[in-house]
């Protein structure tokens, strides 16, 4: 008996040693994921494994390291799409096509990449009309379309595709944040772009800073200042960093609201002096320096508005660059100060052409969005399929408001209450947070709720349950509870009571 066992072990060892390593399949070479099996394939594979004591028939594993790139990767995707499983499984085929579009971008075959991206949602076959498909793979295709158009130099079309992506899934925060990557600051603020920002700043209030920057690029400094004020109203006094106050002061000066700007500049300067006397970290010192730069720029604007052009030019030109000040502000002030300036005054920062300043900033942004690092990040665009099960697992607790499982007992005096979704993740968790907040608001007799800065993840937020006007929060911060329940309630239908 012992000799039989030893012999069997030896045979197994020889078999293992002589079994050649299999090359990665076309599926793995395409997107790093294995082919996947249906039930019949799985049963047949299990029989082989059992009969060979596990030596043969084991399934291929996912292996991103074996993923190919460029034309080689695109060819692997094509072969996988033409394979039986690639043809038969709508979801697997869709993922392969999305990966092929990325490989075509790598190979600089942009027209082919655009064709793959635009083959959606029809490429999903029977899944094309499925809500989960629309809010996952179809969104990925829209984003890949935007990525291709960006690389083709078609900024307006890229932005339009990204805004379609935003409108297709307006409660998916991760999706909405990705949209900012494709927005072109040089373009006018369309109705779709305004609607996008009006929505996303409710989900993530700190994005008001991004919205304010977009307004500055269009010269609307008054609206940018108002967005700064709205964010400040949502922050605790200790969170109102002097740099934010100083930026708001500069916006107000640019908008011709000098008295308001002076008051905020004085506050920022006093707060910054306190921080300068106590802060020791490099990050804190850098923030203090940026605040000082903004306050110095406010003095330039004030002198210019007062007609003291020589003094304004001297202060502006005293620096080579105003790196802490938004580019459109620097360019706009430079353009005004250069009018009537002598050649002797055109030194330092004032020697730089304002049109070139804007163009270089925009070109730098486009480069960052299309460089090698951006190329490597394209695979993150492929979202996981949003299955009904991800909502079903949260349906019962999200609808329970009497004894909420998502709201720990409040143990602090800060505004709002923490809502933390447990038992789920991703898009479904983020939407569950919104629906639960709406239901809690209604259960308390409120018509609205608001999320306060700063969010740390999709499944967690600090929420104020109150009607607009009950506090200093701007009206634009609130979600209407009924509207959220109408939009998201059907996705979280609780199981019938037993």
The secondary structure element, H or E, covering residue 4 is helix 2-18
Token pair for residue 456? 């740390």
Q: Do 28 and 67 form a contact (C-beta atoms < 8 A)? A: yes
User: Rounded CA gap, 20 and 242, in Å?
Assistant: 65
pLDDT at 210: 96
Collect all residues with Cβ–Cβ distance below 8 Å to 154 and sequence separation of at least 6.
none
- pLDDT tens, residue by residue, 237-254: 555 689 999 999 999 999
Q: How many Å apart are CA 341 and CA 310, to the nearest integer?
A: 8
pLDDT, tens only, 472-494 = 889 999 999 999 999 999 999 98
- Strand ranges in 97-214 using DSSP code E only, listed in sequence order: none
Q: How far apart are CA 174 and CA 486, in angstroms?
A: 21
| Residue 127 burial (CB count, 10 A) | 20
Report the C-alpha gap between 203 and 60 in whole angstroms: 41
Low-confidence residues of the chain: pLDDT under 70: 1-22, 36-60, 84-87, 236-240, 497-498
Percentages of the chain per state (helix, strand, coil), in multiples of 5: 65, 5, 30
* DSSP H or E segment with residue 449: strand 448-457
Q: Which backbone phi and psi does 448 adopt, to 5 degrees?
A: -155, 170
Q: Is 279 left (phi over 0), alpha (psi -120 to 50) or beta?
A: beta
The whole-angstrom separation of Cα 477 and Cα 462 is 13
Region of 220 (left: φ > 0; alpha: ψ -120 to 50; beta: rest) is beta
Q: Read off φ and ψ for residue 378, nearest 5 degrees.
A: -60, -30
Distance CA 143, CA 388 (A): 23
Instruction: Give the phi and the psi of residue 147 in degrees, each rounded to 5.
Output: -65, -40
The Cα–Cα gap between 288 and 276 comes to 7
Preceding peptide of 121 cis, ω within 30°: yes
Quote the pLDDT of residue 30: 94
* Lookup: tokens for 453: 């800065």
**For 369, how many CA atoms within 13 A lie in the half-sphere containing its CB?**
26
Beta strands at 460-464 and 478-480: parallel, antiparallel or unpaired: unpaired
Cβ count within 10 A of residue 283: 8
- What was the pLDDT predicted at 44? 36
> Which residues make beta-bridge pairs with 451?
463
The predicted structure's pLDDT at residue 237: 53
Cβ distance 227 to 215 under 8 Å?
yes
Preceding peptide of 454 cis, ω within 30°:
yes
What pLDDT, on a 0 to 100 scale, did the predictor assign at position 22?
A: 65
Torsion of CA 94, 99, 100, 101, to 10 degrees: 90
CA dihedral 344, 350, 355, 358 (to 10 degrees): 160
Cα–Cα distance between 278 and 275 in angstroms, integer?
5
| Per-residue buried b or exposed e for 140-155, using 16+ beta carbons within 10 Å of the residue's own CB | bbbbbbbbbbbbeebb
Q: Strand 417-420 relative to strand 460-464: parallel, antiparallel, unpaired?
A: antiparallel
Do the beta carbons of residue 334 and residue 352 sit within 8 Å? yes
Q: Are 243 and 291 in contact (CB under 8 A)?
A: yes
- Residue 336: closest CA among 219, 446, 438: 219
Query: In 339-478, where does DSSP find H-type helix?
Result: 354-370, 372-376, 388-398, 426-443
pLDDT of residue 17: 44
How long a stretch of residues is the chain?
Answer: 498
The region that residue 6 occupies, defined by phi over 0 for left and psi between -120 and 50 for alpha, beta otherwise, is alpha
Is 480 buried (19+), middle (13-18) or exposed (0-12) by CB count in 10 A?
Answer: middle
Q: What is the pTM of this model?
A: 0.87
């Amino acid at each position: 008996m012992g000799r039989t066992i030893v012999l069997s072990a030896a045979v197994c060892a020889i078999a293992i040693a002589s079994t050649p390593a299999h090359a990665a399949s076309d599926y793995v070479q395409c997107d790093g994921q294995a082919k996947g099996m249906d039930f019949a394939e799985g049963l047949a594979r299990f029989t082989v494994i059992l009969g060979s004591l596990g030596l043969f028939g084991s399934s291929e594993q996912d292996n991103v390291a074996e993923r190919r790139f460029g034309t080689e990767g695109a060819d692997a995707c094509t072969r996988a799409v033409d394979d039986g499983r690639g043809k038969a499984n709508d979801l697997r085929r869709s993922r392969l096509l999305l990966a092929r579009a990325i490989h075509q971008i790598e190979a600089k075959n942009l027209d082919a990449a655009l064709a793959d991206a635009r083959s959606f949602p029809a490429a999903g076959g029977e899944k094309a009309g499925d809500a989960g498909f629309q809010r996952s793979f179809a969104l990925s295709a829209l984003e890949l379309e935007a990525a291709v158009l960006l690389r083709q130099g078609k900024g307006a079309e890229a932005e339009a595709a990204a805004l379609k992506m935003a409108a297709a899934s307006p409660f998916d925060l991760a999706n909405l944040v990705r949209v900012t990557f494709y927005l072109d600051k040089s373009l006018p603020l369309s109705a779709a772009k305004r609607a996008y920002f009006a929505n996303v700043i409710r989900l993530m209030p700190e994005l008001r800073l991004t919205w304010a920057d977009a307004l500055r690029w269009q010269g609307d400094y008054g609206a940018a200042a108002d967005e700064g004020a709205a964010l400040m109203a949502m922050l605790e006094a200790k969170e109102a960093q002097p740099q934010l106050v100083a930026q708001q002061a500069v916006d107000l000066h640019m908008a011709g609201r000098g008295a308001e700007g002076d008051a905020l500049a004085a506050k920022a300067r006093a707060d910054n002096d306190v921080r300068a006397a106590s802060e020791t970290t490099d990050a804190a010192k850098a923030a203090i320096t940026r605040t000082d730069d903004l306050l110095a720029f406010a003095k330039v604007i004030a002198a210019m508005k007062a007609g003291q052009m020589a003094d304004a030019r001297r202060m502006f030109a005293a620096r080579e660059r105003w790196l802490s000040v938004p580019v459109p502000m620097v360019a706009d002030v430079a353009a005004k100060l250069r009018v009537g300036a002598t050649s002797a005054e055109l030194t330092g920062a004032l020697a730089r052409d304002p049109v070139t300043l804007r163009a270089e900033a925009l070109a730098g942004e486009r480069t960052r969005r299309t460089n090698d690092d951006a190329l490597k990040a394209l695979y993150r665009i492929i979202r996981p399929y949003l299955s009904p099960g991800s909502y079903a697992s949260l349906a019962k607790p999200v609808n329970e408001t009497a004894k909420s499982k998502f709201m720990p007992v409040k143990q602090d005096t800060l505004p709002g209450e923490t809502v933390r979704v447990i038992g789920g993740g991703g898009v479904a968790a983020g939407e569950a947070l919104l629906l639960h907040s709406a239901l809690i608001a209604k259960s308390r007799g409120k018509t609205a709720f608001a999320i306060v800065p700063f969010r740390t993840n999709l499944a967690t937020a600090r929420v104020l349950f109150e009607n607009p006007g009950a506090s200093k929060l701007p009206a634009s911060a609130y979600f209407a509870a009924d509207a959220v329940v109408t939009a998201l309630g059907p996705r979280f239908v609780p199981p019938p009571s037993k």
